[in-house]
Amino acid sequence: MLSIGALLSSVDVIVNLRPLENSRWQTLTLSLAIVAFVAIAVAAIPLLNGLQARLAERLLQPAPSLARRVRELTESRAAAVDAQAAELRRIERDLHDGAQARLISVRMSLGLVKGASDPDQVRALVQEAWESAGQALVDLRDLVRGIHPPVLADRGLAGAIQSAALLCPIPVEIDIDLPARPEAPVESAVYFAAVETLTNVTKHSHATRAWVRLRHEGGILRLAVGDDGRGGADPTAGTGLDGIRRRLSAFDGTLAVYSPPGGPTQVTMELPCALSSPKI
């Protein structure tokens, strides 16, 4: 039979063991919780990466209007590069077939002069060289006009268009109101667009009259060229309208064609533009 002292001693040992057992259980429980958390975290990494990628894609994806604008600018830049390359090829071809060929003829004539003894032959060769040199000068002047017409530099856009209209074989009504001059590159592009459109009118429209209207409103330079011809103008049919569109696209410009069968036809060109210098 246990004495009271022994019983009290046993109870004291049991009481002292309970905190130790509780500490072990807490440590085990915490370890298991940590292991479970790490396992869940490792398993969730691919899911979190996917969510992060989708969120970043959504945040970085441009708005539809911005994407459309980027596409338009990319296309206009490509069109401008193509137009510039075509213009350089035209200049090279004109120089090779025109002024260069005539200057070679001058050189050959002068070379023959050095070995000629007959005065009549010398005069004929010099006359031939003189005529070839004069024609080469005409070719060079025409080439310069095709790059930047002197009339455009001297009289501005309004005067240059009026001069071009006077050369048109059909009557052209001019209505131009510009308070100042556009910048030189825009001025040149609009001038050549107007000349090319009037050329199309002469070649294809069978019109009896035409008109040109030019305005600058709200930061937009608007050129309209129309005629009372047969209509049916198609920018994709190789009448030069597509070339005009490419030329204007380099300046963020647009071209619209209204040309029902039977006419009338009106080609409207718009370019964002600031007027830079006083009107001439």
**Do residue 42 and residue 75 come from a single domain?**
no
**Do residue 135 and residue 156 come from a single domain?**
no
**Do residue 158 and residue 273 come from a single domain?**
yes
Tell me which of 97, 120, 147 is where a domain ends.
147
Query: What's the confidence (pLDDT) of residue 49?
Result: 76
**Do residue 81 and residue 9 come from a single domain?**
no
Structural domain boundaries, residue 2:
1-61
Side by side, the strands of the sheet bearing 254-258 are 172-177, 210-217, 220-227, 265-272, 254-258
Cα angle vertex 19, ends 14, 20, to 5°? 90
Query: What's the confidence (pLDDT) of residue 280?
Result: 44
Query: What's the confidence (pLDDT) of residue 10?
Result: 46
**Do residue 181 and residue 123 come from a single domain?**
no
**Do residue 21 and residue 119 come from a single domain?**
no
Query: What's the confidence (pLDDT) of residue 224?
Result: 95
Query: What's the confidence (pLDDT) of residue 84?
Result: 63
Q: What is the CATH number of the domain that holds 268?
A: 3.30.565.10
**Do residue 178 and residue 226 come from a single domain?**
yes
Cα 270 from Cα 182, distance rounded (Å): 13
**Do residue 251 and residue 131 come from a single domain?**
no
- If one counts the domains in the chain, the total is 3
Which ranges of the chain does DSSP label H, i.e. alpha helix?
4-60, 64-94, 101-115, 119-147, 150-166, 184-200, 241-249
Question: Closest by alpha carbon to 148, among 113, 178, 189?
Answer: 189
The ranges of the chain with pLDDT < 70 are: 1-24, 26, 37-38, 41-42, 44, 58-88, 90, 144-148, 238-239, 276-280
**Do residue 163 and residue 265 come from a single domain?**
yes
Tell me which of 115, 147, 179 is where a domain ends.
147
Tell me which of 124, 147, 170 is where a domain ends.
147
Cα dihedral sign for 204, 257, 223, 89? negative
**Do residue 186 and residue 272 come from a single domain?**
yes
Give pLDDT tens digits for 102-141. Answer: 888 888 888 888 877 888 888 888 888 888 888 888 777 7
Cα 223 from Cα 270, distance rounded (Å): 6
**Do residue 139 and residue 201 come from a single domain?**
no
Give pLDDT tens digits for 89-102. Answer: 767 777 777 777 88
**Do residue 191 and residue 245 come from a single domain?**
yes
